[in-house]
Chain A
Amino acid sequence: MEILIYGVINSVTLVLMALGFTLVYGVSRLPNFAHGALYVVAGYLTWIFMNRLGFNYGLSILFALVSTSLIGAAMYQFVLIRVRGMPISEIIASYAIGLAILEGLRWGGLKGSTFTLPPFIEGSIEILGVSVDFQRLLVVVIGIIMLGLLWVFVTMTKLGLALKGMAQDERAALTLGIDSDRMAVVSMALGSGLAGVAAVTLFPLGNIVVEAGYNVLIMAVAVCIVGGLGSWTGAVLAAFLIGFAQILTVVYLGAHFQVVVALVSIIITLVLRPSGLFGRQKELEERV
């Protein structure tokens, strides 16, 4: 039973980590390698708003999410826009920004285990004999809510539909009057905001550390490659595959093999199905 419960929790954790990365890539074909850095920034900003500026927890989260979204939008508007359409340059530029942010935070004093966020709800509960703390259950709830909200946004709002149009065919979207750069800014802001949501949901389980940024980036990339770059359905499915594989590895092989799972899954995917589970568009391109 613990495999099932913690498998689901781990999988939704991966969904949360990867959602922002998938959204940005899906809409603007921009691999945002600063995703992990934005995750840490959101957590650290929440901590600062709460502990240094004295705001309450809810307001701190709100300000941190808005700030992270603005940082993401600014990243695109002032830097990434100049290398748009050059995949290698996009990766190098976004990774360089991420690296500068993370190492800058470390240099600025973000080190040690004293930077933490309080859980939303204290305590734990027994589910079929397996004890689970409320914060982990909230991770699942928030993960499902975020998926639902995202679905509503891209299928029922004008802005969401414009983003979807961009994701499907950028040139066709341009002919319909959709400004591709504006949409890319919006997608970066949204993706950064989603990294922020993941941060404020997951950091209460541990500490705000710089290393989390690198870890989140690796996990997000693994989920997106296995699921198929840009495919949200694929990302969710891949998160569940990797999430359960990790838990099964911990139980049957040992916890120290856990980190290998994500990397091995990338290699297997690239060898057997380079476009990922749901990367249909890329698959078609490959066939052509």
Chain B
Amino acid sequence: MKRRSGSFLVIFFAILMMVIGSSHSWADKPIILGAPLSTAFLYGWAAEKGIKLAVDEINAEGGVKVGNEKRKFSLEVIDTRDLEPGVPVSEALLALEKLILEKKADFIIGGPVRSEAALAAMPLLVKNKKVSILTTGSLTPKYHATVAENPDKFKYCFRISGEAKWMVMGDLVPCLEDIGKKFNLNKLIIMVQDVAHARAGGELLAKTMGDKGWQVLGQPLVFPTGATDFSMGLLDAKKKGAQVIIIWMDMPESAILLKQWHDMKVPALPFGVIIAAAEQPGFWQATDGKGEYCLANVVNAGNVPSEATPWTMKFVDAYKKKYGLEPEGYGTSSSYMAVYALKDAIERAGSIDSDKVADALRKIDLNGVYGRIRFDPKSNQVIPSLDPAEGAVGTVFQWQAGKRIVVFPPKIATGEIKLPPWMNH
């Protein structure tokens, strides 16, 4: 009897030690966030900085509460190079696979950044059951449309940043209409980069503004990724009497376009629907102020200082403190916010199980940096709005005297749009 009870005690304590040991190791084991980003480009490095800031803040507070334990985040960034000219989509997929299989990422945050790569990555995420939150670069409406078509299959794919359709219909068209009414302008020309989201967006914008009574001058002018001379397009704009130049380019060379626009004194207001170069705080100095009056969309609030929500300036100040400059452009605030959204979902789910976290993400309701964060339950796309109390708000700003002044949407605007002096208005 004694021997049997002794054996029972040994087994009991062995099991107890294993349970304690395993729970101890889980608590120590960080939650790995994999970030596939094109780090040589603004939308990549700004996202990386945003994610790092959020991870550091959360870890400094003790980490994420998973059930009864607190676990810290650990970040693994990989360069997908998908924004670089000529780099095939397969490179980004290989990078993503490496994050999942070698780095053992529990969640994917950030990219792939190029729309084509993000779309191609969806089956890979499904196959590996990895919750992914897109935060930067990929604007294609096809992403959330694909999720909406087959929500069960693509239940792990979320996007917390804006998408092209709302950006055009919800933000830019109303903003352009305001400009048209205010300054009596109605002729526009469209210049886009030769990538999927820009081509699709340019065509959508041309059709929409045409329907709104604007005169769209010709087909969108398509420039290759890496183009360094835009003079023929600008001369065309001048010749045709364009009053607004819509620019949709995520390549850094778009700064050249604005320099040429300034040097040629083209009498049309440049409006960067996506214009990576003009978004950055260093743009003014880099162009010697030649980009003044350029309007630029940064997709989500918080990428430029404003008072969209109480968290906006808190984020801007924290970013400035950590990196010594203001948030740099599209992808910064959304990447930061994605980490907090994930934290919120994990804590509510009480687990890092992909299915449970995906369900929790679909039910999120968080007042974030750029407004109320909720996902559409069918498409997993963040719900947009012009009012930060209702949804995720965008931001259009204009360069004025060396500062990025928010001019749209009106609820968060900090100034009025101005025209360059060489426009006869």
Query: Would you give the shortest CB distance from A247 to chain B, in whole angstroms?
Result: 7
Count of chain B residues with a beta carbon within 8 Å of a chain A beta carbon = 41
Cβ contact within 8 Å between B264 and A207: no
Asked, given contacts A116-B287, A258-B227, A259-B226, whether A106 binds B238 with beta carbons under 8 Å apart, the answer is: no
Q: What residue of chain A has the Cβ atom nearest to residue B235's Cβ?
A: A2
Cβ contact within 8 Å between B286 and A209: no
A112 neighbours in B (Cβ, 8 Å) = 41-42, 45, 252, 280, 282
B260 neighbours in A (Cβ, 8 Å) = 133, 205
Cβ contact within 8 Å between A251 and B232: yes
Asked, given contacts A115-B286, A124-B264, A255-B233, whether A207 binds B253 with beta carbons under 8 Å apart, the answer is: yes
Cα of A111 to Cα of B235 in the assembled complex, Å = 29
A259 neighbours in B (Cβ, 8 Å) = 224, 226-227
A114 neighbours in B (Cβ, 8 Å) = 280, 282-283, 285-286
Cβ contact within 8 Å between A256 and B255: no
A111 neighbours in B (Cβ, 8 Å) = 39-41, 45
A250 neighbours in B (Cβ, 8 Å) = 232-233
B227 neighbours in A (Cβ, 8 Å) = 255, 258-259
* Chain A 233-283 residues near chain B, CB threshold 8 A: 247, 250-251, 254-256, 258-259
B286 neighbours in A (Cβ, 8 Å) = 113-116, 207
Cβ contact within 8 Å between B255 and A113: yes
Contact size class for A?
35 or more
Cβ of B265 within 8 Å of any chain A Cβ, yes or no, is: yes
Cβ of B102 within 8 Å of any chain A Cβ, yes or no, is: no
Cβ of B259 within 8 Å of any chain A Cβ, yes or no, is: yes
For this complex, 24 residue pairs linking A to B, each with C-beta atoms less than 8 Å apart, are A2-B235, A6-B229, A111-B45, A112-B282, A113-B42, A113-B255, A113-B276, A114-B285, A114-B286, A118-B288, A124-B265, A131-B265, A132-B231, A136-B231, A205-B228, A206-B256, A211-B84, A211-B85, A211-B226, A247-B232, A255-B224, A256-B194, A256-B224, A258-B224
Query: Would you give the shortest CB distance from A211 to chain B, in whole angstroms?
Result: 5
Cβ of B386 within 8 Å of any chain A Cβ, yes or no, is: no
Cβ of A69 within 8 Å of any chain B Cβ, yes or no, is: no
Query: Would you give the shortest CB distance from A7 to chain B, in whole angstroms?
Result: 10
B222 neighbours in A (Cβ, 8 Å) = 254-256
Cα of A6 to Cα of B230 in the assembled complex, Å = 11
A210 neighbours in B (Cβ, 8 Å) = 40
Cβ of B263 within 8 Å of any chain A Cβ, yes or no, is: yes
Which one, A6, A212, A256, contacts B223 given CB within 8 A? A256
Cα of A118 to Cα of B286 in the assembled complex, Å = 9
Cβ of A130 within 8 Å of any chain B Cβ, yes or no, is: yes
Cβ of B407 within 8 Å of any chain A Cβ, yes or no, is: no
B253 neighbours in A (Cβ, 8 Å) = 113, 206-207, 209
Which one, B228, B255, B283, contacts A215 given CB within 8 A? B228
Asked, given contacts A215-B228, A258-B227, whether A206 binds B41 with beta carbons under 8 Å apart, the answer is: no
A215 neighbours in B (Cβ, 8 Å) = 226, 228
Cβ of B221 within 8 Å of any chain A Cβ, yes or no, is: yes
Cβ of B277 within 8 Å of any chain A Cβ, yes or no, is: yes
Q: Which 7 A-B pairs have the closest CB atoms?
A: A133-B263, A113-B252, A114-B282, A113-B277, A206-B256, A256-B222, A256-B194
Cβ contact within 8 Å between B221 and A255: yes
Cβ contact within 8 Å between A207 and B280: no
Since A131-B265, A215-B226, A254-B222 are in contact, a sample of 11 more A-B pairs with Cβ atoms closer than 8 Å, ordered by chain A residue number, is A113-B255, A113-B280, A114-B282, A114-B285, A124-B263, A206-B253, A206-B255, A256-B223, A256-B224, A259-B224, A259-B226
B280 neighbours in A (Cβ, 8 Å) = 112-114
Mask, A98-136, CB within 8 Å of B = 1, is 000000001000011111101000111000001111011
A28 neighbours in B (Cβ, 8 Å) = none
Cα of A135 to Cα of B48 in the assembled complex, Å = 36
Q: What residue of chain B has the Cβ atom nearest to residue A118's Cβ?
A: B288
Query: Would you give the shortest CB distance from A239 to chain B, in whole angstroms?
Result: 15
* Chain B 24-43 residues near chain A, CB threshold 8 A: 39-42
Cα of A197 to Cα of B272 in the assembled complex, Å = 33
B228 neighbours in A (Cβ, 8 Å) = 205-206, 212, 215
B41 neighbours in A (Cβ, 8 Å) = 111-112
Cβ contact within 8 Å between A255 and B264: no
* Chain A 197-238 residues near chain B, CB threshold 8 A: 205-207, 209-212, 215
B229 neighbours in A (Cβ, 8 Å) = 6, 10, 205
Q: What residue of chain A has the Cβ atom nearest to residue B264's Cβ?
A: A131
A207 neighbours in B (Cβ, 8 Å) = 252-253, 255-256, 277, 286
A113 neighbours in B (Cβ, 8 Å) = 42, 252-255, 276-277, 280, 282-283, 286
Query: Would you give the shortest CB distance from B331 to chain A, in whole angstroms?
Result: 13
B232 neighbours in A (Cβ, 8 Å) = 2, 6, 247, 250-251, 255
A133 neighbours in B (Cβ, 8 Å) = 260, 263-264
Cα of A13 to Cα of B237 in the assembled complex, Å = 24
Residue with the greatest number of chain A CB neighbours at <10 A, chosen from B42, B84, B221, B235:
B235
A123 neighbours in B (Cβ, 8 Å) = 263
B40 neighbours in A (Cβ, 8 Å) = 106, 111, 210
Q: What residue of chain A has the Cβ atom nearest to residue B260's Cβ?
A: A133
Q: What residue of chain B has the Cβ atom nearest to residue A107's Cβ?
A: B40
Cα of A213 to Cα of B3 in the assembled complex, Å = 79
Residue with the greatest number of chain B CB neighbours at <10 A, chosen from A115, A118, A255:
A255
Mask, A63-101, CB within 8 Å of B = 1, is 000000000000000000000000000000000000000
Mask, B241-284, CB within 8 Å of A = 1, is 00000000000111110011001110000000000110010110
Cα of A124 to Cα of B194 in the assembled complex, Å = 29
B226 neighbours in A (Cβ, 8 Å) = 211, 215, 259
Q: What residue of chain A has the Cβ atom nearest to residue B257's Cβ?
A: A206
